[in-house]
Chain A
Amino acid sequence: MLAYLIRRLMIAIPVLLGILAMTFILVHMLPGDPATVLLTPEELQGDPDIIERRRAELGLDRPLPVQYVAWLGELMDGNLGVSFHRKVPVTEMIGPRVMPTLILSGTGMLIALLVGIPVGIAAALRQNTKFDYASGVGSMLAISVPTFFQGLIAIYIFSIWLGWLPSGGMRTLGIPPSGLDLLKHLILPASVLAAVLMGPYVRYTRQSLLDVLRLDHVTTARAKGVPHWGVVVKHAFRNSLIPLTTVIAVQIPALLAGTVIIEFVFTWPGMGRLVIEGINSRDYPVILAVVMITAVLVLLFNFMADVTAAILDPRIRL
């Protein structure tokens, strides 16, 4: 197991450095000179040499590889740069946005798993029935209808037409924050996010369970008289989970993309909305910080999926 983990880490490290290098290249593609960003117009007019001195101060006159290493050092200290727009450290802007995004994406994923996996299992066990076809077409629809359109329809039906749920935001202004109020605001965006994620979960659970049910050990279990549900739960389901762990990890970028759009449609005050605000105000350091954080998160989730798969399937460790 340890050898396997070390091998996975050896692959993850160059990928991490590659992610950081690509982020660094993107930083340099950005229009706008970081040397002038933090200067006031008065300072710029009063001193013609100030830009040069500023560049030297910030180390922008050094060769790119040196700057890259220095930038990595800054990252280690938790310095993600300064917002062009608000002139505050990016970490300060991202900090308060983390929790709302975690709540939204966590709930969305939970709903998707709690609904998607049972539906996938049921579809596999009732292969080629009406239920199987309906779940297949349903998950195809969920993948094909754009996230923002699903969100708009949800708002139209549940907020405008039926008036059951608020159309956006995270809490009602003017009343003290409460769990119930948060829940009311959470239901619509989290359900739409779940719909986006659910399609692949249903499809992979179904396919993976069907594949496992064809294997010899399942036939053996049936032959020795294990009841149907025992076969499914004890012998097939556990094995069918292995590819699913990978699918969940692979879906993380889709989850984040979905979150960006859903936070925008439902004016949810999370990191995704921060990205859109950042793009509209051309506040590139903020966007890059979010991009980098998510890329590293994706890498982390992939690594965790590998570890989980190795725990579930000892053959992988070899």
Chain B
Amino acid sequence: MTRDDGRAKGIDAEAIVEASVAAGEEAIEDLSIGEMATRSPRSPFRIAIRRFMKHRLAFISLVFVALLGLIALFAPIIAPADPNAVDLTSLRSPPSATHLLGTDSSGRDVLSRIIYGARVSLTVGIAAAISAAGLGTVLGLIAGFTRGWVDTVIMRTVDIFLSFPSLIVILLLVAILGPSVITIVVVIAFFEWPTSCRIVRQMTLALREHDFVLAARASGSSSPRIMRRHILAGVVSPLTVVTTLLAASAILLEAALSFLGLGVRQPQASWGGMLSEAQSITVLEGLPWLWLPPGIAIAATVLAINFVGDGLRDAFDPRQTR
């Protein structure tokens, strides 16, 4: 294999892998220390959780994302009005007691649309990230575990996918297939799996050399079983980080698609779609309540998810102080 495979591509792959390999080794060392210590043995998972809780910014961000999830889930109860109800008596009205964030050009309540918009963003973010990470994990495990020509084929495919400007291809595919939440999720997952594939392969290459793999093989485990039970367990921590970061970029992609008019269909509320009204200079200049709140909503959500990802990476990294 050439040397480029270890270097950073897209997401900071190398740092994640390095940190995770080191975390695994540290956990093994920790076992013996833990037995001697009077405290209960610390599993690497518990250490990670404790470190994560100490990372204040990441913890606040996690609470924020969880709250947002609840808001999205209970949107019908929380939203003050029907997001699609047209109030012809108040078009483009500024924020007031009846409409806390004003109304848009069709007289719909902006606050309610933002609350419902959270559903689209979170659904796309979570579904696309999990599908992309899932596909990447399966292919990465196979590539790293079997090596040889299978590995070469998968890794060259990864190179091909990483060469494409994903935004443009996603725009094109969504335009061809027709915009809907499902199409957007599938298309984003289809073009975002290579980052996780690289990382999982990298981890698998390191893990498969460990003695416990040999022991499992000696006791008669089949390759699929070793991959599932032994390798996958070691890949989980970097995978969590990558999936989090993928969710952030999926939300940004969906917002961009909706902003360009290729996202979910109107009248369904989505944050990017709400911002597309600001393409007219009159809206941009005179009606800031139409575009500032959805913009801030996207930015805050993505920022929070990125902070959670950062916190997770630090939590899994034993080089950081405890």
Contacts and interface: CB of A to CB of B under 8 A. Distances in A.
A98 to B, nearest CB: 15
Interface in B267-322: 272, 275, 278-279, 281, 284-285, 288, 291, 295, 298-299, 302-303, 306-307, 310
Contact of A22 (B160, B165, B262, B307): B160
Contact of B162 (A253, A257, A265, A316): A253
Interface stretch (A51-59, A140-148, A181-189): A140-148
A149 B275 contact: yes
A38 interface: no
A287 B168 contact: yes
A295 B164 contact: yes
Nearest to A287: B172
B2 A156 contact: no
A146 to B, nearest CB: 5
B163 A302 contact: yes
How would you classify the secondary structure of chain A's contact residues: helix, strand, loop or mixed?
helix
11 contacts: A15-B163, A145-B299, A160-B281, A203-B12, A250-B162, A253-B163, A261-B259, A279-B171, A294-B165, A294-B168, A298-B164
Interface in B1-20: 2-4, 7-10, 12, 15
A207 B18 CA distance: 13
A155 B295 CA distance: 14
Given A30-B176, A250-B9, A276-B260, A11 B2 contact: yes
B167 interface: yes
Contact of B8 (A243, A260, A276): A243
A256 B168 contact: yes
Interface residues of B, number: 51
Interface string A232-265: 0000000000010011001001001100110011
A290 interface: yes
Contacts of A22: 160, 164
B39 interface: no
A7 B307 CA distance: 39
A99 interface: no
Question: Main SS of chain B's interface residues?
Answer: helix
Given A8-B2, A19-B163, A146 B295 contact: yes
B248 interface: yes
Contact of B275 (A152, A243, A288): A152
B259 A298 contact: no
Contacts of A257: 165-168, 256
Interface in A205-243: 207, 243
A290 B164 CA distance: 10
A299 B163 contact: yes
B175 interface: yes
Interface in B183-232: none
A26 interface: yes
A240 B176 CA distance: 44
